[in-house]
Structure 1
């Protein structure tokens, strides 16, 4: 059997061509298994045969004995290898299989035939002659050392690797968020060495608990991504599971170090014929890893350290500034005038145009492996990460921030994991794992003067200065204690798994927006004269924001049982049940006014709420060249804790809010500079809100501050997943170069989301219906947001296919395609209920309206191409190219500022879907004086909107442009200093097409949250007409994503010993 055929059933990526879906990665699985059947030459099972499995690097041994059916199982084995398996039985010649490499979470299928003989000479079989690995059932992909080392991973992140799968899209315009088959990236799970290292609270869109990957790239042995693993040991996600296992030491000392570098001189400086201002910067990364024995054959260590001293650069500026992204309608003159007013009238320096800022990231991982005996082994892993970035808070195409509005965003992570693997008998084994994670998050404004957030409207753009409102009182610490106990019993052809898991969360979350104040102005003139359109101030009644912090905890408990039945030599059936339930003793503070209004308490929790998740799957090896698989199962998890934490802090008991309407500051009758306006402690306008607002909060008086609560009938969100797939080894009888063996992997995945988490206003009632069916609402109770379940099930489909081929002259490739038709009710883009409710588009915000998912990428093509050759004898040159072509994410056309729905504070928000008149005389509409009617209808025609004339444009009906990009890594091996050492020089080019031409590789996308504001409007004449009031023909539909569009290069060296 050829090397390629050996991996035909979805084995791991080999020689960079390994893109076929491969082995399972259990939610906390960190090991691999070998299982098989031993028969004689007549096909009869050989019982009582001894099977010894030896991990060659460490010398660790696992022993088992075949059952009456000739079946054996070696479980809990280290990932990697090589392994040697020796089979002995009375009356048969011994047989030894060498060179077995195990992938993460796999069950390697090893069926062997013994020859009847009294000879004692061992028959040796090499790894290329054994049967292929048997993967868990479901669409997946695994990536090993070849890919991790050679891929053009310019960020040194797992995100650079998993994107090779065409179903996995990494959004380079949005912190490299991983979107699996069109699902919300917050619903993913990341586990490393059995520890759940995804964002444990829900603030980060990149999926990590820290600013970047929290462990060294060189520490990773393998990584895998699973979209629908039909195994009950998986949990804690409903989108996809990404699992990594770290390297371990062996009996030989091995290690290496690297350094790489980039700068402004290694970055593009023009796009589409226009020069781009790139501030000078330097960005260094370096790291070292080493592993080896502490005690030969018994105790081993591995350690990896990595540091980055980099730079955050920003690409936004006024019109005419030469910035990569210029804000249309916001001129340099506007920029200068706002800055002058801030300095002269408010005595505040807002800073300038954001340019470049230093950042750091430091990582350390230490692992110990102890071979206690042939039946027991243990491991301990410590992981540390501390890093920060300077971050913008408001980066839409119609937003600009002065530099002091930016903030430092960082975290310190410490995690500890101890694991014990035990073989108690030949048939019974257990895994015990205990882990503890401690994370301290920090979000510190660059504004050190204590100035509030100011928002100024300039030609439909929002200009920000002062301290960001969400960073004025913001502190987060959390810890997670996880315990897992699993057992497996081998009963003839049945592998029975069972276990218990518990994750305990302790959370301290201080989040008080506007504790200094937020001031909104409708114009530069209003800003100069001190006439805000809105003021927001929140605090605890004690006026100490810390007293409003949420300090709470909860636990997720799990029990599971499963039977994996080898129903024949070519059929595997898996069936099991998983049950998750929540427990907590902490409740949100009860608000008596809420209870009086609603008739129930706002202190609801998830205590006692549970979910049973059945799963079933089948894999059929139809022939030596074709395997079919399928399964059905229920999955749950990934909903961020921050959505629950809001209920503990936004309650109008420990925290109150005032918006200034009661004191005449928002109707133009009073100025912030009026002589009778008093500020506390001798402060002036902007450095505090007026004393009247502070006094009202201290008295416990709220002004339309929304209470957050959990629906008393809340059910756990879950997703039914159904998958059908096949792996086919095709021996194509084609001419010359085209002929040969191809591996084809294809999977069809259906997903039905039930009880999806959504946010609604709890206090709104529809009081009227306006023109064209527009619902009009009013608040008749204590204002509130409720975290509840969608009333509609939502269906999504994904089809993925990969074709791979390798040649004997050093070339290998894998091509992939994914079609995704993903839907959702709400995109749930944020950590705050207010933002989750408002950062979307809708016709009726209180109804569950199904539309294309905000995260859907309908079509995506991928190509991974690798060529290696010794142009100089003994020194390999390797070229690795990864390319993708992806259709953009969806967006909606909406009104800009409007009062269509009749309720505050959202009546000015750009969320209401656009009504398209069927012509200037449409009786449903009117046009304000000076409105450019002709230009507006030309705009509608150009954007393809007239097809919706007489109605509303559906949500997410349009998609952003296709983006075609390719990255290239070139590596040249060089001599080492000593025998057995290797070194290499490399260069990584990000966005090669843009390096060739500044017209290529341009990434355009509708700005967050995927809305294009076509015109401002309002209801007139008793709600019988929509009046169009303002229209800007120059408003961007899609904005150019500057950083993702520009090419960049990193050069570096690596050394291995």
Structure 2
């Protein structure tokens, strides 16, 4: 029945294409208006013609009985020349009009009787994007000029999305957070086609970022629009924000550009330390060209862009010997590792001598990145009623993926090479069927490949991953990276976009359907090669299996002897239908109301686990298909005085998004019918010594258990029995049968006002409330059976699993807990063509129960901080919580003569530091997770038992004095003594950053045309160039800081027993982000 219903819905979606439309992203703009006489009476039958001057594209309309006209889908940009004519009246022309992406611009005409004026009237339009009747929710438009004049070292769309007051970067785990939401919940489109990392592997939500590339060359982008609260129901698939970009196109003039950008260690500030040093050698080079023009004048145009990037960036954190570390004491510089050379060398020597395995280098290493971006576009004005666009985007990138921080050392052979390949083709047809009916159709296909290549990083054999957790909070990683063996992802994405628009009297009615089909093939077996964990370097060197030492986990295929990886194949279809009415109630009141219906379908079932169904009553095949997700929305715009000096706008509605498909793919991989997991530790009395071969960790495990040689037939028999016994003690991922895709209710209210001296001010409030948010539960956990009064009454459990036949059983389900709100104030002003500026302040709060920063259900549960029982929802501050932000932008151009000018673009961002949580390293609550216990902040020494670690000569009193000083030295800890630390309750210090672009332009005459030569200097964090203490960026790895290391509970007092390693601050200074970086550019522009 389910398959039959899916077929019916899928068929209906495509049948409706001939009649109705769909739109996810925005590719065009719109012009509407009214033609009246001097007495403000409508003039029905007047002719209005808009001409896109660069291409000669014409749009014509006849006003209706109310005097209204409408051009629903016109080219972005300009300039436009709009002419109104009517018998007996002088022709009126408005020119110099440019349209932003997604803008709906009102252009009205007041006609004069010919007896009063005999000549045509030409007006240079002065259009303001803020005081506009088409504006309801919070929106930021980024024009071609803004892109050209503002600093962007990375040449990324995200560098312009940050101009949105409600957006933030540097919170969560990367990307651009909009309105306090996870960056993965944004929807990014280019030319109307989805351009997200739909699978969700990349923290910033952008495809290719894990391979060091942008999804498209910035030189191919014309404009960008950031939608925070659009009440247009044609925009969907997000609960964060919509980021829409449209690409450049050719025109009637041949024009293009050749460019080269470079930066290196000589254009970068010195390291952040007491004795600053020059940065180690590195380089980043970007070069390419773009060109466009007519193939047939006024008819057929082409545009193409080619770009290459090469980068080599060495590690900024390096190791020193133990004597040097000892001299630093608690003030280790940010570019120096807390792990000594001697410790790292001992690990390397041990593996080489005992296992004949070379772990690679722990010293200086320079990861490399190389990518290529190709873009091509054709635009065809078929006739005055039909325009066709075809474009293709190709991106290929490769990047060494090895990272180190002050507290984590990754040997080079624990890395991998991230290979990325993307091809995307879009076909768009815009048609005008009559004066009142128009249509916009988009068809798209994209293929994306993400492959983790370990061949270039691993030595001559696969080896288990070794993780050594040292007592000072540092970690050493060696062996083959556990998540990268056989890790390959292939995605095919089909899209269909079409909007049918009907213009009738004062109404613009849109009817549509939205369809996306994803086909995904993913090979991923976490810990296939085995994962061994040790507490302390001595325990590793002794191959200890006591306690947590030698904790061993390995995943295995239930078809182990035939197919060890069993790639997951899943298909997802999202269909949607909507209807909307934009009603011009009066000349100064506009209402927009619409209803959207989204219906998700998972077209492939995971494997069925009969034993699990019997024990838990859940079917591993169940996925949330066929649910009706309704999204009603309404927006308004009220020109209070009727003269565009005071405007009220706002709206309310429901927004439906998607979850990263990687969260769903876990259910296919971890149904217990395809893969199993062995997880043991010394606490179980069942651990094993380190295996010498990552391809045979399962064999070595059973050889150890049976006390036989690894090649003994008994080992194979034991494995055969294991894989034949169904689930074993495997990890199971399952979805709540009633789970729904993310939905939020969002509303905003804003006032825009023209202030004296040409300043425009805006005050805007936005509120979002979760309807269907996502959370994880481990439904195989036992309930807590005791509390620790000395730990803030923290609940703990003495036994872990309800059903020992299974391991962790992760359920993805919904919660309605969580909300976000923000209040923003904006001031902006433009002085002719010379100077434009804005400054904005935003206060924003975001709370959730899970911030969604991980890619698997297990990590989403076991690393989600909890004050006690990890299955109880803990509403607290989100990792995406903004709090305070000030953002400003200034652009100034000075024309020295007809042939030379200087432009300055300045960007400022000041915001509250990133939120983080004070944690305990260890399993304090007994749930088996070693990274989710929030720390109790002792009010006095009597509330905690402190013990020294190995080779630690401090007494408990000395340790307390250091811990007490640390608590007193940090506001959050000092103010919350006697409590369990809140999730994301603490913050890193305030962050200030200025970015600067200086562009010197020279014009030269070539064949009667002024070509341009541009010399650019982009300086990121320019404040640090003026003062070495300015512009510091602080971070806490993964948003958690281990304040204490848990060693046990004192049965007599119920107090926790802990170790404490002293340091100055819980955060690190990001060496590269905290210093100024300069990029020099040379560009030659011809033809315009």
Structure 1 Cα separation of the partners of residues 27 and 191 of structure 2 = 5
Measured against aligned partners, the alpha-carbon deviations of 1:692-718 in whole angstroms (never above 9, x if no partner) come to: 988655532666431101111212321
Offset of residue 167 of structure 1: 2.1
| Aligned match of 1:148 | 147
2:349 to 340, 358, 365: 340
Distance (whole Å) between structure 2 residues aligned to residue 282 and residue 671 of structure 1: 40
Q: Which structure 2 residues correspond to residues 298-309 of structure 1 after superposition, within 5 A?
A: 298-309=299-310
Structure 1 match to 2:1055: 1026
Q: CA RMSD in A?
A: 2.8
More deviation, 91-100/236-245: 91-100
- Superposition map of 1:634-713 within 5 A: 634-661=654-681, 667=687, 698=720, 699-700=722-723, 704-713=729-738
* 1:499 and 2:512 correspond: yes
Cα drift, residue 934 of structure 1: 3.1
* Cα pair distance change 1:173/1:722, threshold 3 Å: closer
Q: Is the 8 A contact 1:714 1:789 kept in 2?
A: yes
Tell me, yes or no, if structure 1 residue 85 matches structure 2 residue 106. no
Q: Secondary structure at the match of 2:199?
A: coil
Offset at residue 385 of structure 1 (A): 0.6
Measure, in 2, the Cα distance between the counterparts of 1:889 and 1:410: 30
2:431 maps to what in 1? 422
Q: Tell me the CA shift for residue 75 of structure 1.
A: 1.6
Task: Return closer, same or farther for 1:332/1:857 CA change in 2, 3 Å cut-off.
Answer: same
1:356 aligns with 2:356: no
Matches within 5 A, 1:219-230: 219-230=220-231
C-alpha contact 1:550 1:645 (8 A) present in aligned 2: yes
1:27 is the counterpart of 2:45: no
Structure 2 residue 1017 is the aligned partner of structure 1 residue 971 = no
Q: For residue 136 of structure 1, report the CA deviation from its aligned partner.
A: 3.1
Alpha carbons 1:289, 1:304 under 8 Å: kept: yes
Q: Which residue of 1 aligns with 2:448?
A: 439
Q: Which runs of 5+ in 1 are unaligned?
A: 1-24, 732-739
Q: Give yes or no for contact 2:272–2:335 (8 Å, CA) kept in 1.
A: no
Name the SS of the counterpart of 1:940 in structure 2: helix
Q: Is the 8 A contact 1:610 1:716 kept in 2?
A: no
1:1035 Cα deviation (Å)? 7.0
The equivalences for 1:213-612 within 5 A come to 213-276=214-277, 278-318=279-319, 325-326=334-335, 329-352=338-361, 353-392=363-402, 397-445=406-454, 446-449=457-460, 450-459=462-471, 460-531=473-544, 532-543=549-560, 547-612=565-630
Aligned-pair CA distance for 1:491: 0.9
> Which residue number corresponds to residue 10 of structure 1?
none
Contact 1:328/1:1034 (8 A) holds in 2: no
Q: Conserved in 2, the CA contact under 8 Å of 1:228 and 1:723? A: yes
Change (3 A) 1:841 1:198: same
For the Cα contact (< 8 Å) 2:822–2:845, is it kept in 1? yes
Distance 1:785 1:106, change over 3 A: farther
CA shift digits 1:853-887 (9 cap, x unpaired): 11112111122122322456630012221122111
Against the structure 1 CA distance between its residues 703 and 317, is the aligned structure 2 distance closer, same or farther, given a 3 Å change threshold?
farther
1:168 has 2:167 as partner:
yes
Which residues in structure 2 correspond to 1:775-790 (within 5 Å)? 775-777=795-797, 778-781=800-803, 782-790=806-814
Give the equivalent residue in structure 2 for 1:59.
Answer: 56
Distance between the aligned counterparts of 2:93 and 2:1019, measured in 1? 45
1:47 matched to which residue of 2?
A: 44
Q: Alpha carbons of 1:63 and 1:269: their partners in 2 closer, same or farther (altered >3 Å)?
A: same
How far apart are 1:917 and its partner, in Å? 3.0
Q: Is the 8 A contact 2:551 2:682 kept in 1?
A: no
How far 1:256 moved relative to its partner? Answer: 0.7
How far 1:657 sits from its partner (Å)?
A: 1.6
CA distance in 1, matches of 2:979, 2:128: 64
TM-score (structure 2 length as normaliser): 0.89
Q: CA shift at 1:180, angstroms?
A: 1.2
Query: Could you tell me whether the CA contact under 8 Å between 2:530 and 2:697 is conserved in 1?
Result: no
**Alignment equivalent of 2:1043, drawn from 1013, 1019, 1023:** 1013
Alignment length, in residue pairs? 1010
Matched with 1:629 is: 649
Question: Over residues 173-231 of structure 1, what are the superposed CA-to-partner deviations in whole Å (9 max), with x where a residue is unaligned?
Answer: 955x1111321111011000010101111011122111232111011111011111011
Contact 2:465–2:480 (CA under 8 A) maintained in structure 1: yes
* Structure 1 residue 746: Cα displacement: 2.3
Q: What secondary structure is seen at the aligned counterpart in 2 of 1:1044? A: coil
Shift of 1:31: 0.6
Corresponding residue for 2:92? 95
> In the TM superposition, what is the alpha-carbon distance from 1:372 to its structure 2 partner?
0.8
Report the more deviating stretch, 588-597 or 539-548. 539-548
Give the Cα separation in 2 of the matches to 1:471 and 1:390: 13
Report the CA distance between 1:538 and its aligned residue.
1.1
Cα deviation code 1:44-97 (max 9, x no counterpart): 111111211211111111111111100110121010111111222222222222
Unaligned ranges ≥5, structure 2: 1-21, 326-331, 949-954
Partner of 2:903 in structure 1? 878
Q: Does 1:110 align with 2:107?
A: yes
Shift of 1:939: 2.7
- Structure 2: how far apart are the matches of 1:678 and 1:587? 30
Q: Secondary structure at the match of 1:632?
A: strand
Q: CA deviation at 1:552?
A: 1.0
1:248-269 Cα offsets, whole Å, 9 max, x none, are: 1111111111101111222222
Partner residue, 1:721: 746
Flag the 1:102–1:661 CA change in 2: closer, same or farther, 3 A: same
Is the contact made by 1:431 and 1:487 (CA closer than 8 Å) also made in structure 2?
A: yes
Q: Contact between 1:443 and 1:474, CA under 8 Å: does it hold in 2?
A: yes
Identify if the C-alpha distance between structure 1 residues 852 and 536 changes in structure 2 by more than 3 Å, giving closer, same or farther.
same
Which of 1032, 1043, 1051 does residue 1002 from structure 1 map onto? 1032
Bigger shift: residues 815-824 or 865-874: 865-874
For 1:1000 and 1:524, locate their aligned partners in 2 and report how far apart those are by CA, in whole Å.
38
Aligned to 1:862: 887
Give the aligned partner of residue 1044 of structure 1.
Answer: 1073
* Alignment correspondent of 1:736: none
Report the 3-state secondary structure (helix = DSSP H, G, I; strand = E; otherwise coil) of the residue aligned with 1:218: helix
Q: Tell me which of 969, 972, 984 is aligned to 1:942.
A: 969
1:912 corresponds to which residue?
A: 933
Q: Is the 8 A contact 1:774 1:900 kept in 2?
A: no
In structure 2, distance between residues paired with 1:864 and 1:166: 11
**Deviation, structure 1 residue 825:** 0.9
Tell me: CA distance 1:808–1:113, structure 2 relative to 1, closer, same or farther (3 Å). closer
Match of 1:989 among 1019, 1028, 1049: 1019
Q: Is the 8 A contact 1:658 1:697 kept in 2?
A: no
Match of 1:4 in 2: none
SS of the residue corresponding to residue 291 of structure 2 reads strand
Q: How far apart in 2 are the matches of 1:70 and 1:946?
A: 68
CA contact (8 A) 1:539 1:545 kept: no
1:662 and 1:263, CA in 2 relative to 1: closer, same or farther beyond 3 A?
Answer: closer
- Paired position in structure 1 for 2:984: 956
SS in 1 for 2:136: coil
Q: CA separation of 1:975/1:684 partners in 2, compared to 1, >3 Å: closer, same or farther?
A: farther
Contact 1:388 1:410 in 2 (8 A): yes
2:774 aligned with 1:757: yes
Secondary structure, in 3 states, of the residue corresponding to 2:112? coil
Could you tell me how far 1:745 is from its partner in structure 2? 2.0
Seen in structure 2, the aligned counterparts of structure 1 residues 421 and 468 have a Cα distance that, compared at 3 Å, is same
Asked whether the 8 Å contact 2:553–2:680 carries over to 1, the reply is yes
- Change in 2 beyond 3 A, CA 1:679/1:871: same
Q: TM-score, normalised by structure 1?
A: 0.91
CA shift for structure 1 position 791: 3.5
2:185 aligned with 1:187: yes
Distance 1:133 1:937, change over 3 A: closer
Q: After superposition, what is the alpha-carbon deviation per residue over 1:303-334, rounded to whole angstroms, capped at 9, x for unaligned?
A: 11111011233222335689974566422221
User: What is the aligned partner in structure 1 of residue 862 from structure 2?
Assistant: 838
Q: 1:879 to 1:837 in 2, by over 3 A?
A: same
| TM-superposed deviation, 1:805 | 2.4
